[in-house]
Amino acid sequence: MHGRVETPFPIGSQERPDGPNADAVERAVRAALDEDCAADDVTTRWSIDPDARGRAELVAKAEGIIAGLEVARATFQIGDPGVRMLAHLRDGTRVRPGDVIAEVSGSLRSLLTMERTALNFLQRLSGIATLTARYCQAVAGTQAKIYDTRKTAPGLRALDKYAVLVGGGHNHRMHLGAMVLLKENHIAAAGGVEAAVRRVRANMRKENRELKIDVEVETLDQFRTALGLRVDWIMLDNMDPDDIDRATREAARDEGWKPTIEASGNVTIDTARRIAAAGVDVISVGGLTHSAPALDLSLLVR
């Protein structure tokens, strides 16, 4: 192995996830291979002997956190069950340029055909894990936890959110049925915060369901209304740090109810710590999954 590999990156109080959901991985991999017309790789088929066998190494070209090794393995094995992948590391490990992450062996045709798809998954998920780790480091020592959002690549939500866990973050709701989240447009359409919450609670009782309610607020007046309604979460959307300070202090003074206080909207690495210092419980960052740069990796035939 080239270079120096550290022990797996710590992911705080969360247990390390065992791996992404197997059904989600298979669906994503099959869709990606179909999209790439892997069965009709004319370049490889016409240039490589069908009996040629060999091995290749997955090599890091940048520093970051690895995530998605099982997705890469599934890509090769769904494409060709005869291909074998030996991972030298596990998800959550920090790598530097030159570190060998895994070896893949089998039909050279298969290795070359599946190369780009496997790298696409591994680079994307590792990029998400790497960016998440940076945000977690930015708020270390505060009570704030970094959460993702539903701003994921269509069809890849389970994988994207798994990568957030690997980077030390937490998952917000997985889908629309997991939690009530009254956002700006819901509140406007329903006629205000109070009207929206009351209608949700009435319909929740009708359907005999019990879900947490998160209300997005943009002003301190809306915040006070939500606090008085005893909702479970209150999301402070695009509030300036001074208003976040005021909101958290007011919530702390209310001895009868302590909702989870979430800050969201235009959070950056540079502003995350100031927001965390205001006393919020959660900082949700859409950029973890919609804007994470891919981690630079290569597959090199040896």
Residues 264 and 166 in one domain: yes
Q: Which of 55, 61, 151, 246 is catalytic?
A: 151
- The per-residue pLDDT for range 210-242, each reduced to its tens digit, is 999 999 999 999 999 999 999 999 999 999 989
Q: Which of 183, 198, 230, 258 is catalytic?
A: 183
Q: Which of 70, 91, 99, 216 is catalytic?
A: 216
List the structure tokens of 10: 């710590």
Give per-residue burial for 276-298: e unless 16+ CB within 10 Å, then b. Answer: bbbbbbbbbbbbbbeebebbbbe
List the structure tokens of 65: 């956190």
Residues 98 and 35 in one domain: yes
161 is catalytic: no
- The per-residue pLDDT for range 270-293, each reduced to its tens digit, is 999 999 999 999 999 999 999 999
41 is catalytic: no
pLDDT at 256: 76
* 13 within some domain: no
End-to-end CA distance of the chain: 14
Distance CA 44, CA 109 (A): 6
Domain boundaries, position 222: 145-290
CATH code of the domain containing 151:
3.20.20.70
Residues 105 and 165 in one domain: no
Residues 179 and 284 in one domain: yes
* 219 within some domain: yes
Give the global pTM: 0.92
Residues 129 and 26 in one domain: yes
216 is catalytic: yes
Residues 284 and 155 in one domain: yes
Q: Which of 237, 262, 273, 281 is catalytic?
A: 237
pLDDT exceeds cutoff 80 at 1: no
- The per-residue pLDDT for range 71-129, each reduced to its tens digit, is 999 999 999 999 999 999 999 999 999 999 999 999 999 999 999 999 999 999 999 99
183 is catalytic: yes
pLDDT at 206: 97
The angle formed by the CA atoms of residues 186, 289 and 272, to the nearest 5 degrees, is 80
61 is catalytic: no
* 187 within some domain: yes
**What is each CA distance from 148 to 179, 208, 253, in whole angstroms?**
14, 29, 28
